[in-house]
Amino acid sequence: MRCMITIGRIVSHPCGQKAAAPCSRCGTACCKHHLSRQSSSLGQCCVCSGEYTPVEAKIRVTMEEMFDFSPDDLAAFDRDQEGMWSIGPYDS
């Protein structure tokens, strides 16, 4: 059995680690990392105990969003003599 707590900010997916126990409240399989460590909610998953709220990741990103760089983002790259973007010494 694998941990089914939803993780991932870019692509949401189940944790997938080996489950230690099911949540005593909702029954979701949880690994030891996602089981509550609080004495008031011992045996509950981190979602039921309120320690964690899963983030819903966007499944689809538009091309405009993918290539929308701020001036600070663009400043992280250098341009070569032809005005092409370069990421440093790894370019061939």
pLDDT 10s digits, 35-75: 988 878 889 999 999 888 766 655 566 667 767 778 877 77
Write the burial class of residue 51 (CB in 10 Å: 0-12 exposed, 13-18 middle, 19+ buried): middle
What distance in Å separates the CA atoms of residue 70 and residue 21, rounded to the nearest whole number? 45
Q: What are phi and psi of 74, to 5 degrees?
A: -65, -30
Please indicate, yes or no, if residue 5 is contained in any of the structural domains: no
Instruction: State which residues form the domain around 33.
Output: 21-81
> CA separation (Å) from 70 to 22, 57, 60, 74?
44, 21, 21, 6
pLDDT score, position 92: 47
Query: For residue 68, what pLDDT is reported?
Result: 77
Give the pLDDT score at 77: 67
Q: Positive or negative CA dihedral for 40, 44, 50, 52?
A: positive
40 or 4, greater pLDDT: 4
User: For residue 81, what are its two tokens?
Assistant: 């003599």
What total of structural domains would you count in the chain? 1
Which pLDDT score is estimated for 85? 60
Does any domain span residue 41?
yes
**Residue 2, in any domain of the structure:** no
Lowest mean pLDDT among 4-13, 15-24, 70-79, 83-92: 83-92
What ranges in 1-92 are assigned the alpha helix state H?
Answer: 63-66, 71-75
Confidence at residue 73, expressed as pLDDT on a 0 to 100 scale? 75
Position 29 scores a pLDDT of 95
